[in-house]
Structures are given as structure tokens and as C-alpha cells.
Chain A
Amino acid sequence: MRQESTAFAHAAAGQQRPPGGTGWLLLAPLLCWVVAFVVAPAAIMLVYSFLRRGTLGGVVWEFTLDNYAAVADPTYFAIIVRSIVFAAITTLLCLGMGYPVAYLIGRASEERRNLLLMLVMVPFWTSFLIRTYAWVTILKSQGLLNSILLGLGAIGEPLELLYTRGAVILGLVYTFLPFMILPIYSSVEKLDGALIEAALDLGAGPLRAFARVIVPLTQPGIAAGVLLVFVPALGLYAVNDILGGGRVDMIGNVIENQFKGNARNWPFGAALGTAMLVAFGLTYWVVSRRQRAVEFGR
């Protein structure tokens, strides 16, 4: 009875248990949610990708593979590669810039911690549009940054900061930095100070202690941060439009055009979306299986 189940739980603590009735019952809400609101819409997208474009948008129920043939066009491949490059650069910058902040917050006292977290998040509770247009005000040729630099005599002529690739990266890093800081913070927070002390006591310099002890221990947080920055960054095109002048299309722009632009080509948009989904899904699934094998043994 109670003693038995506790004993059983006791024995199995730390390892994975077979789900049994309770396991499935508890999982049911999540499972239902995923089936209803992830699988179903994804299925709709998949089905649409094989249909024909309707005159006024929407679809015509005729089967075709043309959309996937269109996806294979080299222009879109170049666009996808460019989006991946931007997302990767953003992720790396966020990692480099965000890790120290996450570390500081994670090692801070509990009261300081909450204050710092709020300080980090509050700027992002303003409207994205207004924030990004504020960057336009800062970066434009007659803007804040240029005025300061000119005033200080650091430059002779205003710098062309706006409507460049650099501006887009800046905007992307700005948008996603908190999403790198937060997951890493929660990993850092559980670090046992004694481990770090031990490493330093044994003669490791701070850099070595960092690389050999701290980073490996916070690796799950880093992995989560990378996931939560890279993937959304792939799709965010608004920054490209406002800070980059919309000069080059990202994959997000292309897909948006199919639904919100003249093209009215939903099936093609759906095909692009499905391609991205399959690529991501497969990668994630493989990585996830490997992680589980490492963590829990098979």
C-alpha cells in the first residue's frame, strides 16, 4: 500500500521509471494539447503544401508536387542559407554577450537575483515596434549615436549604421539576448560553489575553472539558450524590414509574401514551411534521442 509504493519509488529515484497508469494519466493533458494544437495545424500545413493555389488565396483541392519543385529553386536555397547565417551569428553573439550576465545573476544573492531578472526583462515589455523604431532614431544618420560621435569629434561624417546588415544583427541580438540569459541563468543557479572553489584550490586559473568546470556543468542551460534563440531568430523578419530596410529577403519574408503579399500562394508558403519543419524536426529528434541515451542509458 502506501509503504510499498514509497519503497518502489525509493528504489527507482534517480532512474527513469516505466510510465504505468499514473505516468500516462499525468501526461494526458500535454498529449491532448500537442495533438490538438500542434499536430493538427502541422497536418493542415502539410496537406496544403500538396494542393494548388486559389485565385483569392486559399487552396484548390488538386494534388500537385509543383510547390516542392518551386522550393528547390536556388534563389530560395540562398535565402535559407542567409537566414541560417544571420541566426547563427545572432546566437553566437547572444551566447558570448549573455553568458557573463547569466553567470552574475545566477551567483547573486536571492534578492539581488530577482531584481536583476526584472531589470533584464522589463525593457522587453514595451512594444517591439516602438522599441525597434527607437533604434532607428538612435542609428540614423542624424540620430543619437552619430550626433554623439560627431560631437566628440570621433568621426568627421555621419556613419551609415542604419539599413545595413550590421543593424539587422544588432536588432536581432537585442531581441533575443534575454532568451539566452534566462535559460543559462537557471543552469548557473544550481552550480555548487564548492565545486568551483575546489577547482580553484587545486590550482586552476579562473579561465581554466570556467572552461573545464563551469561550462560543462551549465551545458544544458547553454543548449536550451541556443535552441530558444536560434530557432525563433530564423523566422523573425520584422527586424530585417525595419532596421535593414527590407533590402534582402529572409526566409520569413518569402513565406509572409505568400500569405500577405500579391503572390497569394498559400501552398508554396506551406511547402516552404513544411521543409523547414521537417529539417528542424529531424535534427531535433536525432539530438533528443542522443541526449536521452546519454542521460538515462538505454
Chain B
Amino acid sequence: MTRTIRFILVAVVALLLPPGVGVAPGAESLNLFGWSEYIPQSVIDEFTEETDIEVNYEMYASNEEMLAKLFSGATKYDLIQPSEYVIEALVKEGKLEKLDKAQIPNLKNIAPEFRGLPHDPNLDYSVPYMSGTVGIVVNTDKVKEPVTGYRDVFQEKYKNRIVILDDPLEIVTWALHTEGLPPNAVTKENIEKVKPLIASWLPLVKVYDSDSPKTALLNGDVDLGIVWSGEAAILYNEDKKFTYTLPKEGAHRFIDNLAIPKGAPNKAGAHKFIDYVLRPEVSVKISKEFPYTNPNAEARKLLTPEERANPASYPPGDPKLDTFRDIGENAVLVDKVITDLKAQSGS
């Protein structure tokens, strides 16, 4: 009985614990809302050391999760990390603060190929953080023939040995590329056009995984797949037998960016953080933890030759790359089509 009472007391005390416990009163703080594991803790700690700004780092696993929590208004975030097509929508809806470039002198470090892109041509609202591509990984121990494009991947002989991202928009875009249609023309008519192609592809897939497709490849349960370049880079670092190729029909280049939501409480702190992250020595630290494509030209100069040679991080040649555009209502259609086709093809 006394134990029960003690339990109840603990519970009551816990409930009465003020929610903001742990934050030093009066300290300046920055509410950072980013992709899981995208900003190394060391980078954050060193920022705090230098500026005395306490960073509250909350994480999400998808753009939509971020949007859900952002617009609930529960916490006023100072920085978010949306992908390029979400930036476009956020700008359209007026949900981002215009950047004060005077506070971000290091902006000059961004490589030219990351400027002038459709989602934010003048980098008025966003700063590229990390970039990557979606391409083909092949376990060359198991697959000896060259695999250069989507059509090569989805062949009957690879049935049940393929892993692809569990991302309806990606899948539809690959089909658009393969049929020679513009990848961002995601309309009802085009979706209907590529539906049969996707329907022929899905029964060949063994695993759908957007979180950790490297697992199935490392396990040897699948021999090839279409995955994020970051995953491929990690695989390449683990074992050189995993090659990465950008599909010749065309590939998605995604860019994750730092942006400041409208009404952010600490805009100055946010600008400081952006400028800090753009320093070459800081940016290269991030690259070492996450082998994505670093849009910071100065930071790239600080990479080791081995890192620079990772084909997944820095694909050679002049590949055909496109960023995603905001597709509005068609997103609903995309989701439905893939759900339908998965259901038809599934076991």
C-alpha cells in the first residue's frame, strides 16, 4: 500500500515538473528542427561553445513529419531542413523568412551548380545543406553485367533480388524518366501513361525500404537496388564491391536546405548558425559523418582524396540530374497509384 502511495507521489511530481526543465534561465537558445542524424552533435556542441547559444535539436524522419509539427505551432522553430520541393511550396505559401545575406557572408562558398535552381533561384530563402542523388547500387559480386539505367534494373532475371525506396513520388519519377517524359510533369495523364510500366516493375521487387536499404544489400538478400546516394556511399565505404551508378535515363538530385520559418523567435541566432555551418572546416566535418554530396565548394577542397573518390558522394561525369518540383494535389494521386499497384503485385 505504501509502495502504491509512493508511486502515485512520483507520478504527481513528474506531472508537475515544468516542461521547460533543463534549460538555463536567461540563456539564449536556438530551436533547430532537422533530419535525424543529419547534424553531428560535435558541430552543435562547438557552435554552443563559441556563441553561448543553447541549441534545442529536435529531429524528424520525413518532410511531412516536420511540416506537421511545425504548423501545429507547439514549438516555435528557428531553423528547419526541408528538401527542395518542400522549400518551393513553403515559399509559395509565404511560410519562410527572407534571409539577410549580410549576416551570411559564407554563402559565397556554395558551389555554382547549386545556384539558380528552380525552387529558390537566388537563395533568398534557403541555403543548401547537403545534397545527394537517387541511383543504382549493384553488388558486383553477384551481378556481373553492367546496370546503367532503370530498364536494366527491372529485368526478369533480377526478380526478387531488388530493393527500392518506399517512396511513391520517386518510383513515379523513375517511370517518367524511362518513358522519356519530363520528370516533374507529374500529371494525371502522365501517371496513367506510366502506370503499366510501374505495374511491370513492382512484382520484381523484394524489399521496399526508405529508412535503411543498405541492410538488405549488406545481408545479401538483394543484389541491386535504387537507393539514396548516402546509403550507397556507406555501402561503398564498407565494401568496394558495391558500385553506384546514376541511371542514364535521368536521376533525382535532392537538396536538403536550411531555412528559417516565418515568425522564428531567434532569427539572428539562426543566421549565425547558417553562417557557422557554411564554414569549410565545419562543413567538411559534416561530410565526414554523412558521405552525401557537399554543396560547399570550399569544404570539398578539404576532403581526403578517398572521400572525394567515392562515386556515390561525388558521381563522376556529367549526369542528367533534376530536382523535384512541388506537385500540389497530384501528390494524392501518386500515393494512390502506388498503393494500388503494390496491392496488385504483392504477395
**Residues of A with Cβ closer than 8 Å to B?**
53, 55-58, 73, 75, 78-79, 133, 136, 140-143, 162-165, 241, 245-249, 254, 257-265, 268
If A55-B93, A259-B64, A262-B331 are given as contacts, then 16 extra A-B residue pairs at C-beta distance below 8 Å, sorted by A number, are A56-B67, A75-B339, A75-B343, A133-B215, A136-B215, A141-B220, A141-B221, A143-B219, A162-B219, A163-B221, A247-B347, A259-B65, A259-B68, A260-B61, A260-B68, A263-B331
Given the interface pairs A259-B68, A260-B65, the reply to whether A245 lies near B206 with Cβ below 8 Å is yes
In the assembled complex, which residues on chain A have CB atoms less than 8 Å from the CB atom of B209?
241, 245-246
Kindly state whether residue B224 has any CB partner on chain A within 8 Å: no
Are A164 and B347 in contact (CB-based, < 8 A)? yes
Interface of A, helix, strand, loop or mixed by DSSP: loop
Listed from nearest, the 7 A-B pairs whose CB atoms lie closest are A248-B346, A263-B335, A245-B207, A246-B208, A57-B67, A140-B219, A262-B169
Partner of A141, one of B93, B219, B340: B219
Task: Flag if A247 contacts B220 (CB, 8 Å).
Answer: no
- B54 within 8 Å of A by Cβ? no
B interface SS class: helix
A249 touches B331 (CB 8 A): no
Question: Contact between A56 and B343 (Cβ–Cβ < 8 Å)?
Answer: no
Is B205 interfacial (CB-CB < 8 Å)? yes
CA A261 – CA B95 in complex, angstroms?
20
Give 9 CB contacts A-B under 8 Å: A73-B336, A136-B219, A163-B207, A164-B347, A247-B205, A247-B207, A247-B342, A257-B168, A261-B168
Set of chain B residues within 8 Å of A142, measured between Cβ atoms: 219-220
The answer for the CA separation of A261 and B346 in the assembled complex, in Å, is 20
Residues in B neighbouring A136, C-beta threshold 8 A:
215, 219
User: Closest Cβ of chain A: how far from B61's Cβ, in Å?
Assistant: 8
Enumerate chain A residues within 8 angstroms of B331, measured Cβ to Cβ: 262-265
The interface centre, meaning the residue of B90, B95, B346 with most chain A CB atoms within 10 A of its CB, is: B346
Q: Which B residues, 36 to 79, have Cβ-Cβ distances below 8 Å to chain A? A: 61-62, 64-65, 67-68, 71
Asked whether B332 is an interface residue with its Cβ less than 8 Å from the other chain, the reply is yes
Contact of B71 among A56, A141, A260 (CB under 8 A): A56
Q: How far is the CA of A206 from the CA of B59 in the complex (A)?
A: 56
Q: Which single residue of chain B is at the shortest CB-CB distance from A268?
A: B332
* Minimal beta-carbon separation of A108 from chain B (angstroms): 23
- CB neighbours (8 Å) of A53 from chain B are 329, 332
- Nearest CB to that of A140 among chain B residues? B219
- A53-B332, A55-B328, A56-B95 in contact; A264/B64 too (CB < 8 A)? yes
Contact partner, B89, options A56, A246, A249, A254, Cβ 8 Å:
A56
The answer to whether A249 and B339 touch (CB under 8 A), given A55-B93, A56-B67, A263-B331, is yes
The chain B residue sitting closest to A56, CB to CB, is B67
Interface string of B312-347 (1 = CB under 8 A from A): 000000000000000011011011100110110011
| Docked CA distance A246–B164 (Å) | 10
- Contact status A265-B332, CB under 8 Å: yes
Cβ-based interface call for B100 (8 A): no
Q: Which residues of B contact A133 (CB under 8 A)?
A: 215
User: A265–B335 contact, CB under 8 A?
Assistant: yes
Residues of the B chain whose Cβ atoms lie less than 8 Å from the Cβ of A265: 331-332, 335
* Set of chain B residues within 8 Å of A264, measured between Cβ atoms: 64, 67, 331
What are the residues of chain A within 8 A of B90 when measuring CB–CB?
56
Q: How far apart are the CA atoms of A58 and B65 in the complex, in Å?
A: 11
Q: Which residues of A contact B205 (CB under 8 A)?
A: 247
Nearest chain A residue, comparing its CB with the CB of B71: A58
Residues of chain B within 8 A (CB-CB) of A75 are: 336, 339-340, 343
Return the contact of A165 from the options B62, B220, B329, B347 (Cβ within 8 A).
B347
Contact B343 A262 (CB under 8 A): no
- Indicate if B120 sits at the interface (CB-CB under 8 A): no
Decide: B206 and A163 in contact? CB cutoff 8 A.
yes
A residues within 8 A CB of B97? none
Decide: A78 near B343, CB < 8 A? Known: A55-B328, A136-B219. Answer: yes
With contacts A163-B207, A262-B167, A263-B332 known, is A248 near B68, CB below 8 A? no
CB distance from A44 to the nearest CB of B (A): 11
B281 within 8 A of A: no
Which chain A residue lies CB-closest to B65? A260
Is A262 within 8 A of B346, CB to CB? no
Closest to A73 in B: B336
Q: Which residues of B (79-130) have their CB < 8 Å from a CB of A?
A: 86, 89-90, 92-93, 95
